[in-house]
Structure 1
Amino acid sequence: MTRTLWLLGAGLLAILLVPLFLGGSGLFAQLQDFPLTLLLTMLGMIVVCWNLNALKLRILLKGRATDFGHMRAFGVVMASEFAICATPGGTGGPLTLISLLTRHGLRPAQTTAVFAVDQLIDLLFFLSSLIALSIYILIKAVDLQVGWLLGVPILLLTVGLSLLFLIARYHDRAIRFVAQCLVRFRIKPERRQRLNRRLLIFRDSLRETLKMPRMLLISAFVVSVAHWLVRYSILYFTVIGLGKHLDWTWTFLVQMLSMAAGQLTLLPGGAGGTELSSSALLAPILGQSTTAAAILIWRGITYYFYLIAGAPIFLMLAGRPLLKRILRGKTSKDDFQELN
């Protein structure tokens, strides 16, 4: 727990220190001139994002959770995204989601299957958007030198989705392979049996979720697209508020690549890597002081606001015991059964 708190503190400092170091004395003048109405509008956009994610969660659950209206789904989303921002690599997010949904009649394996489908939908969106951006760059000839910035993530996402498809297509062989690995690693028979049972439940739950009516899955994808379009417009409006103009597609690409780079730091919220990579992409166009102000405002809205607004919701829904567990990195499903 102490280690996670230190990492969270280091991440919060990195989000502040990188822009302060980059912007110098001109940073504060930029921040003072930023329109308050636009800042409030962008905070409202984050609330819209939470509502869209809550709607997607309800679509994927398809009535399987008891007493789970929109406000409850909204709270679960806020609590889960707070946990993502507060833990290294976002590991606390899925754990929080599993714990909260098991309180509404779902088994942990069922919740994990819903989370897996949710992530597949997001991966499909990112792959589609990167391909669309590549076509746009080729047609408009925006800057062919950024082609490699798109080629690498497109390749990685394509390989990742292909592997997931193969695992799903040959899931019986995959399950047998996992069972053999458990034997080879000399896992105790009782634990092997428990893990294999959970894996089979997860497989059945994943099948059940993917066998939903096609229109529901399409609706979940459309809601996901709307969420990411709103979320990834924050930086664009930030640049406008600072009196500059930047193509929306470039700000979209900057956010996608910088958030991916931030995950490599293993700090909560991708701190450090996100700021450095986004500044490298924005500074040659906007200048250092404007870039620093844009990063500070953008990260304040998409990170600090998630922590500040999500913390009380997390404590109200999950409580201090779960907070201590995710900060300690307790990830076993047995812990969730104890909490419930």
Structure 2
Amino acid sequence: MNRTLWLLLAGLVAVLAIPFLLGGTDLIHQLAGFPLWLFALMLGMILVCWFINGLKLKVLLAGHAGPLGSLRAMAIMMATEFAICATPGGTGGPLTLMALLARRGVRPARTTAVFAVDQIIDLVFFLSAMIGMMIYVITRAIDVRLGWMLMVPLLMLIGGLILILLLGRYHRGLMRLLGRILAGLRVRPHTRRKLARRLLNFRNALAETLQMPRYRLLTAFLLGVVHWVIRYSVLYFTLIGLGQHLDWAWTFLVQMLSMAAGQITLLPGGAGGAELSSSALLAPVIGQSTAAAAILIWRAVTYYFYLVAGAPAFMLMAGRPLLRRVLSARRQEESEPGD
């Protein structure tokens, strides 16, 4: 827990310190002239994103959580995304979602399957967006190096989809292989059987979720698209408020590459990597101080606000015991055999 808290603190400092170091004294003047109404509008856009994610959660649960109001689903997503932003690699997100839905009678295996389908939706969206960005880079004759920068995450996304398809098709062979590996590591038979049972429960819940009516999956995908389009428009509006007018597609590209770079760091929210990579892409176009101001405002909306607004939702819905579990990154052992 102490390690995670220190990493979170380091991430918070990095989000602030890097733009100030890059922007210098001109950064203060840039921030002072930013319209407050536009900043409030961008915060409202994040609230809309949470509401949309709540609707997507309701669609994927398909009634398994009982009567779930839109505002309640939104609060669940706010708490979950707070945990994602507060822990390295977002590891606290699935645990939080699992704990909150368990209180509504949803089995952990189904919650994990819903989370996995949500990630698959995002994976498909970003794969499509990456292909679109490649076309954008080629047709607009932008620096060829950006094409190579896009190629790496594009190949990773394609590899992820292929891996998911192979796991779904050859799960029996995978489980046998995993069993042999665990046996070689001298893992107890009881533990191996429990792990195999959980994998089977997850696989069955995932298959059931993916077999829901196509209109539900399409609705969830469209909600995911709307969410990411709104979320990735924040930097575009930030630059407008700073008096810069860049193509929306360019700001979308900057955010995709920056967040991909942020995943490499060990800090919560991708702090450090996102700031440095976005500065490298924006500074040559709009200047160092303006780029630093844009990065600070963008991250305040898409990182700090997730922590500030998500923390009360997390504490009200989950409380301190779950917070300690999330920050310590330890999963509670489930005693029910059906899990």
Query: What TM-score range do you get, normalising by the shorter chain?
Result: over 0.9
Moved more, 136-145 or 243-252: 136-145
Q: Match for residue 250 of structure 1?
A: 250
Moved more, 144-153 or 78-87: 144-153
Q: Match for residue 36 of structure 1?
A: 36
2:226 is equivalent to residue 216 of structure 1: no
SS in 2 for 1:265: coil
Offset at 1:146?
1.9
Offset at 1:140?
3.5
- Tell me if the contact between 2:235 and 2:294 (Cα under 8 Å) persists in the aligned partners: yes
Q: Match for residue 262 of structure 2?
A: 262
- Pairing 1:54-73 to 2, within 5 Å after superposition: 54-73=54-73
CA–CA separation in structure 2 for the residues paired with 1:101 and 1:158: 31
Q: Match for residue 136 of structure 2?
A: 136
Q: Match for residue 164 of structure 1?
A: 164
Q: Match for residue 305 of structure 1?
A: 305
Offset at 1:144?
3.7
Distance 1:179 1:332, change over 3 A: farther
Offset at 1:173?
1.4
Offset at 1:139?
2.9
CA–CA separation in structure 2 for the residues paired with 1:115 and 1:9: 27
CA–CA separation in structure 2 for the residues paired with 1:309 and 1:142: 38
- Pairing 1:1-340 to 2, within 5 Å after superposition: 1-334=1-334
CA–CA separation in structure 2 for the residues paired with 1:123 and 1:278: 21
CA–CA separation in structure 2 for the residues paired with 1:146 and 1:8: 30
Aligned partner letter, 1:157:
L
CA-to-aligned-CA distance 1:62-90 (integer Å, 9 cap, x gap): 11112322121111100000001111111
TM-score scaled to structure 2, two decimals? 0.96
Any stretches of 5+ residues in structure 1 without a counterpart? none
Moved more, 168-177 or 255-264: 168-177
Moved more, 169-178 or 242-251: 169-178
CA-to-aligned-CA distance 1:157-206 (integer Å, 9 cap, x gap): 11111111111111221222222222222111221121111111101101
Aligned partner letter, 2:122:
D
CA-to-aligned-CA distance 1:314-334 (integer Å, 9 cap, x gap): 000001000011111112443
Aligned partner letter, 2:151:
G
Offset at 1:216?
0.8
- Tell me if the contact between 1:262 and 1:274 (Cα under 8 Å) persists in the aligned partners: yes
Aligned partner letter, 1:119:
Q
CA–CA separation in structure 2 for the residues paired with 1:138 and 1:260: 21
Offset at 1:109?
0.9
Aligned partner letter, 1:258:
S
SS in 2 for 1:264: coil
SS in 2 for 1:67: coil
CA–CA separation in structure 1 for the residues paired with 2:119 and 2:104: 21
Moved more, 59-68 or 10-19: 59-68
Offset at 1:10?
0.6
Number of positions where the alignment pairs a residue of Structure 1 with one of Structure 2: 336
Aligned partner letter, 2:283:
A
Moved more, 149-158 or 177-186: 177-186
Offset at 1:143?
4.0
Aligned partner letter, 1:285:
V
CA-to-aligned-CA distance 1:1-36 (integer Å, 9 cap, x gap): 111111111110000100000000100000010011
Aligned partner letter, 1:276:
L
CA-to-aligned-CA distance 1:220-268 (integer Å, 9 cap, x gap): 1111000000000000100010001111111111111111111111101
- Tell me if the contact between 1:108 and 1:333 (Cα under 8 Å) persists in the aligned partners: no
- Tell me if the contact between 1:68 and 1:104 (Cα under 8 Å) persists in the aligned partners: no
- Tell me if the contact between 2:153 and 2:260 (Cα under 8 Å) persists in the aligned partners: no
Q: CA RMSD in A?
A: 1.3
TM-score scaled to structure 1, two decimals? 0.96
% identical equivalent positions: 62
Offset at 1:134?
1.4
- Tell me if the contact between 2:167 and 2:174 (Cα under 8 Å) persists in the aligned partners: yes
- Tell me if the contact between 2:258 and 2:275 (Cα under 8 Å) persists in the aligned partners: yes
Aligned partner letter, 1:69:
G
SS in 2 for 1:104: coil
Aligned partner letter, 1:184:
G
CA-to-aligned-CA distance 1:293-312 (integer Å, 9 cap, x gap): 00000000000101000101
